[in-house]
Structure 1
Amino acid sequence: MRLSVLDQSPVGEGSSHADALLASVDLAQAAEEWGFARYWTAEHHASPGFAGSAPEILAAVLLARTSRMPVGTGGVLLPRYPPVKVAEVFAVLASLYPGRVDMGLGRAGGPAADYPQRVSLLRRLLGMDGSAKDGTAEDDAHRLVGAPAVPPRMWLLGAGSGSARMAGELGTDFAYAHFLAPDRAEEALTTYRTLLRGGNATDEAPGVLAVRVVTAESEAEAEALAHSVLLWRSRKDLGEDLPLPSARVARNHRWTALEAERASVRGRSLVWGTPDQVLTRLAELAKEYAVEEVMVNTLTCDPEDRFHSYRLLAEWQAATVGG
């Protein structure tokens, strides 16, 4: 099981968006040294709790500050932008950092009726559709001038079967957001793999699972951090979008019945505990959904707690593999 990072650049109470972005830079550099497989930056807008409104720009900074690890977006909300602009941005990144750029795409953020057409055009612009470089005049008209020699790796992201189906039909990579809709993961990944294989069974199990995780050295510390995440998430579900509360605030909070109900629902998709407990659960999820890579998404009020959580996972996994 490989571990990767999905970074939403969380903003804790009392901190600024700039603080969160700088913390993401620090975390990415450390994640490469710790051996994480890849690092993705997310896109959110007008959010008090998330700082990453331009994931491709943050990804560019992280590519410059790292040297080996694939870096990308998880993801660019394609309905918000002209495909040619997205193609140009990723062409520049892939030209500067060949073989290290992941182009993760999401269908949220705007009207999505033409999302499949946007994805197809993006693939053609970047020469990712399999057509020959010396193709027809029509092909050449839809290929970006200055397309990179090594295109970015395209990933479609989703929390249901729509993007899974499209990824399978196009033959692209697919990442499933388990932390948003855990109950639909099996259906989505099965749909993706069936279409990707043309209905033929193989031993390969493509696809990545993104899981929300909090870990600490003790169960009590991990539980306190988990309660912070669940308080933030329950408030968000009920229309109150705020920065991440501290563990102290969560501990002293008097939960309403509606908040408690939402926390109970969201708690089913949060993995928390000591690093050995968390890694055991992640291995179970990887086996259940037949994935070889799990993207870890950790939210905390204090960037140091998030840094520590990822470091513990990396160290425990390294010790397990080494042992």
Structure 2
Amino acid sequence: MGQVRRSNRMLGIPVSILDLAPIVRGATAADSFRNTLDLARHAEQWGYNRYWLAEHHNMPGIASSATSVVIGYVAAGTEKIRVGSGGVMLPNHAPLVIAEQFGTLESLYPGRIDLGLGRAPGSDQLTARALRRSLGNDGDDFPELLEELRAYLKPPSGVHGAKVRAVPGEGLDIPIWLLGSSGFSARLAGQLGLPFAFASHFAPDYLLPALDIYRSSFRPSEALDKPYAMVGIHVVAADTDEEARRLATSHEFQFLNIIRGRSGQLSPPVDSLDGVWSEYEKSIVRQQLSYSVVGSKQTVRDRLRQIVSETGADELIAAGQIYDHAARLRSYELLAEVARGE
């Protein structure tokens, strides 16, 4: 890259990127991966703290289903930025496999890999069946799966050591994050003394209660001596408020399709969704996307200051579902300028 990373701070906290690797209408997954790497390289230059990718299955508009593979691709194409999962859905996988995958990533790119874990399936019931996941599983076994995974990553102990070992993975210092959109993972993260990330970019209603649960239940650990909470937001920034609102219609239409039980690739923006959605649907979409920050640099700055003040976030992680790649780059460039106080 040949460029020095600059500090990326807003009100004293770092800002990161959550890339959903969108497949836009008229393009392919290969195009999505090229855009992901291009964005990651720019993010490194602009001073973002970390670059995460998320596990979703059976979604024609998201290319990051093989999350650890894409993480390796991004880490190989960058130099310093932390790269990780936001997140891997642990109940979809054997803990040993995740330990080996992320042990491999950490061995290849030491000191740069994050392992963010969720307990949702990241899919529908039919896809869960295809993943060989029990349809009766409601995520209640997540603490046991997490304990097994963490055991594989610990240094060997005892005279003979464990009979099943994660190689590579064993003894590696891979930061584990718990992700969630409710109080379950918030409480577990607090009890275990792990960092916690909340998905307020699509589940805003429980954000503040979950952060309260996390902080009140926190117990110091080897990982952390005090709580560390990252808040997920959706950001669409442009040179004017009007242009940002237009770009944001792609994400709004995508979310409208989700509540209608449909899926598809990310659509081009339109001037307005009036006539496409009902007033009821509009209210649902706007409520669920209430932590979407849409506007010019000044508008984004004002709203982010408000969010940081409301939540006491230690870090922000921003998704940005924007159809045009150049506009997406510009959005993250503006956000980086806001984060640096420019």
Determine if the TM-score, normalized by the shorter chain, exceeds 0.5: yes
Match in the other structure for 1:41:
53
- Cα offset for 1:113? 2.8
Within the candidate set 54, 58, 80, 2:92 is matched to 80
Q: What secondary structure sits across from 1:49 in the alignment?
A: coil
Amino acid at match of 1:122: L
Show the counterpart of 1:285.
307
Structure 1 residue 258: deviation in Å? 4.5
> Displacement of 1:259 after TM fit?
3.3
In the alignment, structure 1 residue 248 sits paired with structure 2 residue 260: no
Q: Cα offset for 1:195?
A: 2.0
1:276 aligned to 2:298?
yes
Does 2:139 match 1:116? no
CA positional deviation for 1:142: 5.3
The answer as to whether partners of 1:236 and 1:242 remain within 8 angstroms in 2 is no
Paired residue for 2:337, among 302, 315, 320?
Answer: 315
Q: What's the offset of the Cα at 1:146?
A: 3.9
Measured in 2, the distance between the counterparts of 1:271 and 1:114 equals 35
Give the alignment partner of residue 70 of structure 1, picking from 70, 73, 82. 82
Which runs of no fewer than 5 residues in structure 2 stay unpaired? Answer: 1-12, 122-132
- Post-superposition offset of 1:204: 5.0
Post-superposition shift, 1:319? 4.6
Q: Is the 8 A contact 1:246 1:301 kept in 2?
A: yes
2:157 maps to which residue?
134
Superposition deviation, residue 163 in structure 1: 0.7
DSSP 3-state at the match of 2:270:
helix
Superposed CA offset, 1:61-95 (max 9, x none): 11111111111011111111111011101111111
Amino acid at match of 1:69: I
Indicate the SS of the match to 1:247.
coil
Partner AA of 1:70 in structure 2? R
Deviation, 1:117, is: 0.7
Conserved? CA contact 2:15–2:339, under 8 Å: no
TM score, norm. by length of structure 2: 0.85
> Does the 8 Å CA contact 2:152/2:169 hold for their aligned counterparts?
yes
Q: 1:297 to 1:234 in 2, by over 3 A?
A: same
Matches within 5 A, 1:1-323: 1-109=13-121, 110=133, 111=137, 112-127=139-154, 133-135=156-158, 137=160, 140-141=162-163, 143-147=165-169, 149-197=171-219, 205-248=227-270, 250=272, 254-320=276-342
Q: Structure 1 residues 222, 83: CA separation in 2 closer, same or farther (over 3 Å shift)?
A: same
Q: Secondary structure at the match of 1:276?
A: helix
Mapped to 2, the partners of 1:93 and 1:216 lie a distance apart of 35
Task: State whether residues 98 and 151 of structure 1, in contact with CA within 8 Å, keep that contact through their aligned partners in structure 2.
Answer: no
CA distance in 1, matches of 2:341, 2:312: 23
Q: Measure, in 2, the Cα distance between the counterparts of 1:206 and 1:67.
A: 25
Q: Flag structure 1 segments of 5+ consecutive residues without an equivalent.
A: none
Identify, as 1 or 2, the structure richer in helix. 1
Give the partner amino acid of 1:218.
Answer: T
* Structure 1 ranges of 4+ moved more than 6 A: none
Q: Distance in 2 between matches of 1:193 and 1:22?
A: 39
Does the residue aligned with 1:71 lie in a helix, a strand or coil? strand
SS at match of 1:212: strand
Q: Distance in 2 between matches of 1:56 and 1:251?
A: 36
Which amino acid is the alignment partner of residue 135 of structure 1?
G
Q: Report the CA distance shift for 1:267/1:121 in structure 2 as closer, same or farther (over 3 A).
A: closer
Tell me by how many angstroms 1:269 deviates: 2.6
Q: Give the whole-Å Cα distance in 1 for the aligned partners of 2:62 and 2:275.
A: 22
Amino acid of the structure 1 residue aligned with 2:116:
G
Identity between Structure 1 and Structure 2 (%)? 35
User: What do the CA deviations read for 1:98-152 (whole angstroms, capped 9, x no partner)?
Assistant: 211100111111532321111110000001xxxx643365x63354344355421
Evaluate the alpha carbon distance shift between residue 146 and residue 9 of structure 1 in structure 2; reply closer, same or farther with a 3 A threshold.
closer
Task: Give the aligned residue type for 1:24.
Answer: T
CA distance in structure 2 between the partners assigned to 1:33 and 1:49 by the alignment: 27
CA shift, 1:315, in A, is 2.4
SS in 1 for 2:187: helix
Whichever residue aligns with residue 41 of structure 2, its letter is Q
User: Aligned in 2, Cα 1:219/1:173: closer, same or farther, shift over 3 Å?
Assistant: same
The Cα offsets for residues 267-304 of structure 1, whole Å up to 9 and x where unpaired, read as 42311011221122112212211112100110011122
Q: Distance in 2 between matches of 1:224 and 1:178?
A: 22
Secondary structure, counterpart of 1:25 in structure 2? helix
TM-score computed with the length of structure 1 as normaliser: 0.90
